[in-house]
């Protein structure tokens, strides 16, 4: 078949912005079979495949696209599945424009191939059409504990289960999925997709223990005493950061974690939910990452006007391009070069405004990004009844505090050997946000995979 030389990629069908801003159904609707084939035909099958090097788990992209071109979607899925255990998730939440698609040759003159959209299509096609039940591999009788059921934990557990290990996942919350369930909203990642991944692990023989907080209910030492031969820590990022400005304890000030957890995990958006959430008139979200976009778009769907406040410019927003684009379409205001200095409240302790400085960009800082500096006497107040702080997290102390000899860095992140994910303790591995601080789903998955490989090698040599 001839290559499709269109400079533009096939558009992703989406729900109408006006309608979707009032519901929690998925925004992006996915390619049809015809569109998928047409889009795959834009791939030139470059010999050196620069896209593959841009993928944190090195999916053989031209190979899976070749199968899509042929209309053999199941074969395409099998190509992806060799490298990635959560394609339906990653196709939806990876920042592809900074990874595989950034390196796509087609992107030099025109738009890159919609690799992420095709990954999603292939994974959804497989989920809809494949009836083949996963079989539990023959057990090798060796027990491995995985702490946390987010992207790194699910990946590590899956890889080890496929090799015959007896894997138990310990999850602190009542539902598995970690950030995929409590953090990322339904409209971006339907929870049924996450559940399908969890069900697949259970079919592989993984034992899922919810309501167990490692560091509290059980310690890592006790896991070894109970016969686990290796432990993977994928406990996630942890405590939300605040700005330490006046007024952060007023009623109506949330961390993004709390706001999103109430809504996503506890389903507070449903009318009959037992868990309350504030339905504000005008919400201000502080921060510019994916989590900030998720919080803003969630508040919008709960009926609020929303303004995102970020201290740099739109160009520096760390969020995925598509999320920014969708947020704008949904009518969210972007107040760039704006930095909060104080939150005002009424006499009953409720938020009624946020005072901000206007900023300008100066020389780049250590992170290479232009440093925002305050414009003198530029202070102004935004009227608001709800403020959501989305400025990152600091590591959770529960495991560190109860695990003797586990080395952490000055930020509290667990120190590991990057090649093997091995921590300072024998048989204890770690990956994902617990190591790196807040990062992406795909990098956490990559770490889970690295750890699984290292654990397998370690245990084989025991």
Q: By CB under 8 A, name the one of 234, 240, 353, 446 that touches other proteins.
A: 240
Backbone dihedral region for residue 421 (phi beyond 0: left; psi -120 to 50: alpha; all else: beta): left
Smallest gap from residue 51 Cβ to other proteins (A): 35
Q: By CB under 8 A, name the one of 210, 362, 409, 417 that touches other proteins.
A: 210
**Residue 396 binds other proteins, judged by CB under 8 A:** yes
Residue-wise DSSP of 291-339: HHHHHHHHHHHTT-EEEEE-SS-GGG--S-HHHHHHHHHTT-EEE-SEE
**Residue 192 binds other proteins, judged by CB under 8 A:** no
**Residue 266 binds other proteins, judged by CB under 8 A:** yes
Name the residue nearer to other proteins (CB basis): 396 or 450.
Answer: 396
CB 381 within 8 A of CB 355: yes
Smallest gap from residue 181 Cβ to other proteins (A): 12
Q: Which stretch binds other proteins (CB under 8 A): 51-59, 254-262, 290-298, 334-342?
A: 254-262
Smallest gap from residue 250 Cβ to other proteins (A): 8
Q: Minimal CA–CA distance to 179: which of 200, 152, 161?
A: 152
Smallest gap from residue 259 Cβ to other proteins (A): 9
Smallest gap from residue 265 Cβ to other proteins (A): 8
Distance CA 290, CA 319 (A): 4
- Hey, what are 167's tokens? 């894997």
**Residue 349 binds other proteins, judged by CB under 8 A:** yes
Smallest gap from residue 452 Cβ to other proteins (A): 25
Name the residue nearer to other proteins (CB basis): 25 or 217.
Answer: 217
Distance CA 143, CA 165 (A): 6
Distance CA 371, CA 97 (A): 24
Q: Which stretch binds other proteins (CB under 8 A): 264-272, 306-314, 411-419, 430-438?
A: 264-272
Task: Identify how many contiguous H helices and E strands the chain contains and give both numbers.
Answer: 17, 16
Smallest gap from residue 390 Cβ to other proteins (A): 11
- The 8 Å CB, 24+ separation contacts for 264-267 are 264/181, 264/182, 264/183, 264/184, 264/185, 264/186, 264/191, 264/298, 265/173, 265/175, 265/181, 265/182
**Residue 363 binds other proteins, judged by CB under 8 A:** no
The residue ranges that bind other proteins (CB under 8 A) are 172-174, 182, 210-213, 216-218, 236, 238-240, 242, 244, 248-252, 254-255, 257-258, 261-262, 265-267, 273-276, 278, 348-349, 396-398
């Amino acid at each position: 078949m001839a290559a499709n030389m269109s400079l533009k990629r096939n558009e992703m069908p989406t729900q109408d912005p006006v309608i979707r801003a009032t519901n929690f159904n998925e925004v992006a609707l996915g390619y049809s079979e015809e569109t998928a084939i047409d889009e795959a035909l834009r791939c030139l099958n470059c010999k050196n495949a620069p896209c593959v090097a841009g993928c944190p788990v090195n999916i053989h992209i031209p190979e899976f696209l070749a199968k899509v071109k042929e209309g053999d979607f199941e074969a395409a899925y099998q190509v992806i599945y060799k490298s990635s255990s959560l394609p339906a998730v990653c196709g939806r939440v990876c920042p592809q424009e900074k990874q595989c698609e950034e390196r796509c040759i087609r992107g030099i003159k025109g738009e890159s191939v919609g690799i992420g959209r095709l990954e999603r299509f292939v994974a959804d096609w497989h989920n809809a059409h494949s009836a083949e039940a996963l079989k539990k591999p023959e057990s090798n009788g060796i027990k491995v504990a995985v702490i946390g059921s987010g992207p790194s934990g699910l990946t590590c557990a899956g890889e080890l289960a496929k090799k015959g290990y007896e894997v138990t996942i310990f999850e602190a919350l009542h539902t598995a999925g970690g950030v995929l369930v409590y953090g990322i909203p339904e409209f971006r990642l339907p929870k049924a997709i996450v559940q399908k991944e969890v069900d697949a692990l259970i079919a592989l023989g993984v034992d899922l223990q919810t309501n167990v907080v490692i560091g509290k209910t059980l310690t890592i030492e006790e896991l070894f005493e109970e016969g686990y031969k290796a432990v993977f820590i994928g406990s996630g990022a942890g405590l939300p950061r605040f700005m330490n400005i006046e007024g952060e304890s007023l009623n109506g000030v949330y961390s993004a974690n709390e706001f999103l957890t109430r809504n996503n995990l506890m389903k507070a958006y449903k009318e009959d939910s037992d868990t309350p959430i504030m339905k504000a008139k005008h919400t201000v979200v502080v921060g510019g990452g994916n989590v900030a976009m998720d919080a803003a778009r969630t508040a919008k769907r709960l009926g609020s006007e929303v303004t995102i406040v970020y201290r740099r410019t739109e160009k520096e927003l760390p969020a995925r391009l598509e999320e920014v684009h969708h947020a704008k379409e949904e009518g969210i205001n972007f107040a760039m070069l704006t930095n909060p200095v104080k939150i005002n409240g009424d006499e009953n302790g409720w938020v009624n405004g946020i005072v901000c400085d206007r900023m300008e960009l100066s020389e780049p800082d250590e992170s290479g990004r232009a440093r925002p500096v305050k414009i003198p006497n530029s202070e102004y107040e935004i009227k608001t009844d709800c403020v959501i702080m989305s400025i990152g997290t600091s590591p959770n102390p529960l495991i560190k505090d109860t695990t003797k000899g586990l080395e952490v860095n000055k930020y509290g992140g667990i120190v590991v050997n990057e090649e093997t994910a091995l921590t300072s303790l024998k048989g204890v591995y770690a990956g994902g946000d617990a190591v790196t601080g807040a990062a992406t789903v795909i990098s956490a998955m990559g770490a889970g995979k690295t750890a699984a490989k290292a654990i397998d090698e370690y245990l084989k040599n025991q």
